[in-house]
């Protein structure tokens, strides 16, 4: 177990900037999730940490020791690959023990470690099989096991669940969380799936196009997104964003959007006068059938996901999506009223949170 | 009759024709090898032999083909070993090199394989003479390696290319050195390619006649093809012995291919990554 420090890492591939001055810290025993759309450089960062790729600038510290000049072997990290990368010519047991053997552990010890790991992951009956005889979920476990068996300083997981089907993904996700609680090791987990990031991470690092946008615990990422990218990337359905102007009139703040206005009474906010981008999460908008109160909007479409409903509405030219309980029913074209609690609004200027 | 029936019939007929075309001369000398002296020259020719081993005995005793066989094994075996070792390293480097450069180099290697043998025979002979390597095993192995290496590199490059990079990355993280990853992960997964390349190199070196004739003038060092060609005396052509010796030359190859065929299992890397 160890802490991990990423300092000013930059990397280019030809003209493409893969990473630009990435900077963050993972505490000993922390579960840190790197979240970002595909191509944002998160996998490159993992490879740099593992020592498979070299950064152009910056330093990686493991336990406050620079590992820049160390080979992957000397860094003592373990990595789980997206496509598992199990050795097809070895049995499950040999796969699990490979790292130990490469590090010169006596074979009796290796056998014990293999059994211990297999029991932990519930794959004892698979030990004699070869990877091609395993299902996707089993392969995933073996890949995890290969990393676990060595008890390395740091675990690097590169989208380990993305090749599993939806149901399995949920159960493996839960297992992973439990596993981390049991072994309390440092994990850096790469994903593009916001649900994985929200449920697994103690800390989430949101990245886009090689840059870090926000580093915070998941709740803060969700409740206080640092910029419009983070706000729109996390949350489903997506946060509503619209432009507006804030004006102060006799001590009251009035928010004027294109087709409606809101009174904002949160006095402690200094958003200043001028153009803003305003965000509101769908669950922070209440929907009512009585057109008299609130903002009048027209129902454009209703998405029924079973547990709840998403109401896509139009206020003039502004689109707003609201969440409604599954019992409620709405007709397309119906005029409804929306209630927006001003204290749930997010304000952005030039894309950054105010 | 359905269309499938006719397609199948025509297909089977075509394949049989092709097989017969290639096999008849071969079967003819196999049959000759097991004939007796009178049967070989009988008119009309007799297809089914008496399974006499006289010609084999004569070939072994009177023509001493055993030492040709030993020479062939030494030369072809060494050639294969050296070619595959160099080919594996070269092929791995090319498979992992930047695409444009690798392509250029592969084309260059292919160009080397295009020289007609007769054009390089002279320089090779001069060079070997200078080195004092005429009539030595290394004198024959050297040009053979040079001639088989392009093919080996091509085959192996293609095979290494198919091996997912993640497997190497995984082994590096697991604690292998680059060389260790090559030996423990890349090579074992390339066995089909290694066997294919080995067999082709071995067959080439085993059957090669022209350079062998040129370089090995000392009967003690001659390989099987040259030995057999020199069977005929001034007045005699010992067909039976030639057939028997040819059989002994060909049988190991056929046997080798049959044995290794099972090892050339494609799709060995199935299950490595998602699939």
Domains of chain B: 64-230 (1.10.3720.10)
- Cα–Cα distance, A57 to A9 (Å, whole number): 5
- Structure token digits, residue B147: 């001639």
Q: For strand A31-35 and strand A203-208, is the pairing parallel, antiparallel, or unpaired?
A: parallel
CATH number at residue A141: 3.40.50.300
Q: What is the pLDDT of residue B56?
A: 87
Mean pLDDT (whole number) for B60-82: 91
Q: Using pLDDT thresholds of 50, 70 and 90, give the confidence band for residue B268.
A: very low
Is A52's pLDDT higher than 80? yes
Q: What is the pLDDT of residue A266?
A: 60
β strands within A36-185, DSSP E: 57-62, 65-66, 77-80, 154-158
Is B186's pLDDT higher than 90? yes
Asked if B269 and A88 come within 8 Å (Cβ–Cβ), the reply is yes
Range picked from A274-278, B61-65, B141-145 for highest mean pLDDT: B141-145
**pTM for this prediction:** 0.81
> Quick one: which of A207, A210, A245, A244 has its CA closest to A229?
A207
B207: Cβ–Cβ under 8 A, 6 or more apart, which residues?
B225
Q: Report the percentage of chain B scoring pLDDT > 70.
A: 94
Tokens 């958003």 -> residue: A271
Q: What is the pLDDT of residue B275?
A: 37
Mean pLDDT (whole number) for B87-113: 90
Is A40's pLDDT higher than 90? no
Residue A246, number of CB atoms within 10 A of its CB: 21
Q: Are residues A179 and A269 in the same domain?
A: no
Q: Using pLDDT thresholds of 50, 70 and 90, give the confidence band for residue A270.
A: low
Asked if A73 and B172 come within 8 Å (Cβ–Cβ), the reply is yes
**B188 contacts in chain A (CB < 8 Å):** 89
- For residue B97, CA distances in Å to A269, A299, B204, B246 come to 57, 58, 29, 44
Q: What is the pLDDT of residues A283-298, one digit of tens each?
A: 999 888 876 677 888 9
Q: B270: nearest CA in chain A?
A: A132
Q: Angle, to 10 degrees, between the axis of helix B65-96 and the axis of helix B54-62?
A: 90
> Quick one: which of B119, B127, B123, B139 has its CA closest to B213?
B139
Q: What is the pLDDT of residue A315?
A: 87
CB A244 within 8 A of CB A254: no
- Find the CB nearest B175 among A85, A102, A132: A102
Q: What is the pLDDT of residues B162-175, one digit of tens each?
A: 889 999 999 999 99
> Quick one: which of A188, A213, A195, A193 has its CA closest to A47?
A188
More confident residue, B25 or A248: B25
> Quick one: which of A90, A84, A79, A95 has its CA closest to A45?
A79
- Using an 8 Å CB-CB cutoff, list residues of chain B that contact chain A: 164, 166-167, 169-177, 180, 185, 188-189, 268-274
Is A220's pLDDT higher than 60? yes
Q: What is the pLDDT of residue A252?
A: 73
Range picked from A156-170, A209-223, A248-262 for highest mean pLDDT: A209-223
Q: Are residues A285 and A213 in the same domain?
A: no
Out of A179, A213, A233, pick the residue that ends a domain.
A233
**H or E element at residue B260:** helix B239-261
- Cα–Cα distance, B75 to B222 (Å, whole number): 10
Domain span including residue A292 = 242-353
Q: What is the pLDDT of residue B1?
A: 55
- Find the CB nearest B188 among A77, A78, A89: A89
- Cα–Cα distance, A140 to A162 (Å, whole number): 10
**Dihedral sign (CA A68, A71, A73, A77):** positive
Q: Are residues A125 and A213 in the same domain?
A: yes
Q: Are residues A257 and A209 in the same domain?
A: no
Q: What is the pLDDT of residues A80-99, one digit of tens each?
A: 998 899 999 999 999 999 99
Q: Are residues A207 and A317 in the same domain?
A: no
Residue A265, number of CB atoms within 10 A of its CB: 11
CATH number at residue A255: 2.40.50.140
- Find the CB nearest A85 among B177, B268, B273: B273
- For residue B267, CA distances in Å to A299, B159, B270, B272 come to 55, 11, 5, 10
Torsion of CA B25, B26, B29, B35, to 10 degrees: -110
Mean pLDDT (whole number) for B75-100: 93
Out of A195, A212, A233, pick the residue that ends a domain.
A233
> Quick one: which of B210, B243, B261, B257 has its CA closest to B53?
B243
Out of A188, A207, A233, pick the residue that ends a domain.
A233
Q: Are residues A209 and A251 in the same domain?
A: no
- The structural domain count of chain A equals 2
- Shortest Cα–Cα distance, A1 to chain B (Å): 16
Q: Are residues A195 and A314 in the same domain?
A: no
């Amino acid at each position: 177990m160890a802490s991990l420090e990423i300092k000013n890492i930059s990397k280019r591939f030809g003209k493409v900037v893969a990473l630009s001055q990435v900077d963050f810290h993972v505490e000993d025993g922390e579960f840190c999730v790197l979240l970002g759309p595909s191509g944002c450089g998160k996998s490159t960062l993992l490879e740099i940490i593992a020592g498979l790729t070299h950064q152009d600038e910056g330093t990686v510290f493991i336990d406050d020791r620079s590992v820049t000049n160390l080979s992957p072997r000397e860094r003592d990290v373990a990595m789980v690959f997206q496509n598992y990368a199990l050795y097809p010519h070895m049995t499950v047991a040999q796969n699990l023990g490979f790292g130990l053997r490469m590090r010169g552990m006596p074979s009796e010890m290796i056998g014990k470690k293999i059994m211990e790991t297999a029991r932990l992951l519930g794959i004892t009956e698979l030990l004699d099989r070869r990877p091609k005889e395993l299902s996707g979920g089993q392969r995933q476990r073996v890949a995890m096991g290969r990393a676990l068996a060595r008890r390395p300083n740091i675990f690097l997981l590169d989208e380990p669940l993305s090749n599993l089907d939806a149901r399995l993904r949920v159960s493996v996700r839960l297992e992973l969380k439990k596993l981390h609680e049991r072994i309390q090791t440092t994990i850096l987990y790469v994903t593009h799936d916001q649900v994985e990031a929200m449920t697994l991470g103690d800390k989430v690092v949101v990245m886009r196009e090689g840059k870090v946008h926000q580093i915070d615990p998941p709740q803060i990422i969700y409740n206080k997104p640092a910029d419009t990218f983070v706000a729109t990337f996390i949350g489903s359905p997506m946060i509503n964003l619209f432009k507006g102007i804030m004006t102060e009139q006799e001590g009251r703040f009035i928010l004027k959007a294109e087709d409606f206005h809101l009174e904002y009474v949160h006095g402690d906010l200094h958003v200043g006068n001028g153009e803003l981008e305003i965000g509101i999460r769908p669950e922070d908008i209440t929907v009512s059938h009585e057109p008299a109160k609130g903002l009048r909007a027209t129902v454009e479409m209703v998405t029924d996901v079973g547990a709840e409903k998403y109401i896509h509405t139009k206020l003039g030219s502004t689109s707003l999506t609201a969440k409604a309980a599954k019992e409620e029913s709405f007709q397309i074209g119906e005029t409804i009223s929306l209630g927006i609690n001003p204290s749930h609004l997010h304000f952005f200027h030039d894309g950054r949170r105010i | 009759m359905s269309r499938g029936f006719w397609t199948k019939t025509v297909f089977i007929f075509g394949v049989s024709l092709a097989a017969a075309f290639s096999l008849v001369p071969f079967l003819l000398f196999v049959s000759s090898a097991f004939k007796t002296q009178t049967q070989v020259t009988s008119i009309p020719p007799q297809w089914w032999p008496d399974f006499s081993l006289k010609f084999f005995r004569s070939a072994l005793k009177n023509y001493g083909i055993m030492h040709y066989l030993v020479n062939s094994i030494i030369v072809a075996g060494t050639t294969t070993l050296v070619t595959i070792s160099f080919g594996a390293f070269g092929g791995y480097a090319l498979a992992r090199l930047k695409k444009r450069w690798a392509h250029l180099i592969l084309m260059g290697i292919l160009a080397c394989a295009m020289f007609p043998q007769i054009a390089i025979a002279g320089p090779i002979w001069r060079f070997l003479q200078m080195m004092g390597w005429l009539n030595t095993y290394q004198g024959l192995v050297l040009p053979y390696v040079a001639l088989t290496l392009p093919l080996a590199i091509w085959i192996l490059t293609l095979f290494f290319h198919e091996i997912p990079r993640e497997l190497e990355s995984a082994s590096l993280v697991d604690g292998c050195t680059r060389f260790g990853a090559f030996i423990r992960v890349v090579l074992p997964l390339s066995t089909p390619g290694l066997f294919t390349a080995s067999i082709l190199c071995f067959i080439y070196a085993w059957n090669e006649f022209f350079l062998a004739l040129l370089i090995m003038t000392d009967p003690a060092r001659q390989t099987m093809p040259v030995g057999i060609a020199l069977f005929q005396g001034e007045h005699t052509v010992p067909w039976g012995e030639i057939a028997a010796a040819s059989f002994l030359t060909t049988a190991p190859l056929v046997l080798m291919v049959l044995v290794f065929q099972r090892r050339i299992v494609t799709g060995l890397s199935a299950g490595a990554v998602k699939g």
